[in-house]
Structure 1
Amino acid sequence: MRVERVENPLSLKDKLVRFVFRVYQSTGGAYPALEWVENKPSPDDFEGFKKVYEPFLEFRLSEEFDELYVLRDEGGKIAGTVALVYNLKEKDAWWVPEEIKEEKTGLIEFFMVHPDYRGRGYGSKLLDFAIERLKNLGKEPYIITFPNLEAYSYYLRRGFIKVMDYREFVVLKHRGR
């Protein structure tokens, strides 16, 4: 397994829509939350999911993410993803509280592991990579997530602490070492 930077994120859009749909299926439609969608597609409706998620993903890939990484298995299949967002002053990131929109803030986003690869340490590998990459850039790692997701307790176990509630989200910051 190797973490690799995606130089042209839009080139992976179709594969990433399918990847994220598998995550959506495996969480029974809990993640991604699709919080902007009034009638969420069922976890077995790929076309419905694609219709609402693909434009959002295209925006994130082209406008929001500063760096995108994938973890691939030996056959080249995407096993996990993580994105970094750190040029916050240049973005209309409504979901980021003003209190942390500063030069030193680095967000870990789009952090997912394909359900076929869960429980093998790949999430830890990706998260550790993202934290180190942000620190090497001089950034403080943050995660903005939903408090009811399974990932929330995972982040707390991995060294993140809650710093605030913001809208329907919770903002976590890595304690560092």
Structure 2
Amino acid sequence: MEIVRVENPLSIKDELMSFVFSVYQSTGGAYPALEWVENKPSIDDFEGFKKVYEPFLEFRLGEEFDELYVGRKDGRVIGTVALVYNLEGKDVWWVPEEIKSERTGLIEFFMVDPTYKGKGYGSRLLEFAINRLGELGKDAYVITFPNLEAYSYYLRKGFEKVMDYKEFVVLKYKGQRRKL
């Protein structure tokens, strides 16, 4: 897998929509949570998913993410990770004030194609994100839902719970950074 920075994230929006929908299907609709949607689309309804998720994805790609990376294998996206570290002036209501600082770096949009799960690609993307934030002088945080499989994954990878916040749990990386 090659990890590539996407300079113009909106340019691959359609490819990312399909990728995220495959993750939505593989998690039985658990992720992305679509917590703002009253009637979530079924896992077989791409058009319904696109209708509710596309505006959110456009916002994230165009305004929220400071850096977006994709893992590519055989020319297609098999994983994603985004970094959010310029929090000033952004509408990041899901980030508690207690952790907002110049040192805060958030790992977001971290997903791996379900057919590649368990092969180490997620670990490579996560280590890459942690190291990149370290290069920028940032502490790595993840904000996730406590009932997702990802929660225990992050704990195994060196993150520790900092706090509960709204419906989320806030985790901070406490492990050792490794050279890739």
Shorter-chain TM range is over 0.9
Aligned to 2:112: 113
**C-alpha separation in 1, matches of 2:154 and 2:89:** 27
The aligned residue for residue 22 of structure 1 is: 22
Equivalent residue number for residue 174 of structure 1 = 173
Is 1:97 the counterpart of 2:96? The answer is yes
SS for the counterpart of 1:72 is strand
**Aligned-pair CA distance for 1:18:** 0.5
- Note the 1:12-161 alignment, pairs <5 A: 12-73=12-73, 75-161=74-160
Q: Which amino acid aligns with 1:87?
A: N
Aligned partners of 1:143 and 1:89: how far apart in 2?
18
How many residues matched? 176
Q: 4+ runs of 1 displaced by more than 6 Å?
A: none
Letter in 2 for 1:116: T
Aligned to 2:172, the other structure's residue is in SS state strand
Q: CA deviation at 1:176?
A: 3.2
What is the rounded CA distance, in whole Å, between the counterparts of 2:118 and 2:165 in structure 1? 30
Deviation at 1:88, TM superposition (A): 0.6
Alignment TM-score, normalising by the size of structure 2 = 0.97
Identity of aligned residues (%): 78
1:90 positional shift: 2.6
> Per-residue deviation at 1:168?
0.2
Distance 1:165 1:117 in 2: 31
Q: Secondary structure at the match of 2:88?
A: helix
1:5 alignment partner in structure 2: 5
- Residues in 1 aligned to 2:158 and 2:40: alpha-carbon distance in whole angstroms: 32
Q: CA deviation at 1:81?
A: 0.1
How far, CA to CA, are the matches of 1:120 and 1:136 in structure 2? Answer: 26
SS at match of 1:102: coil
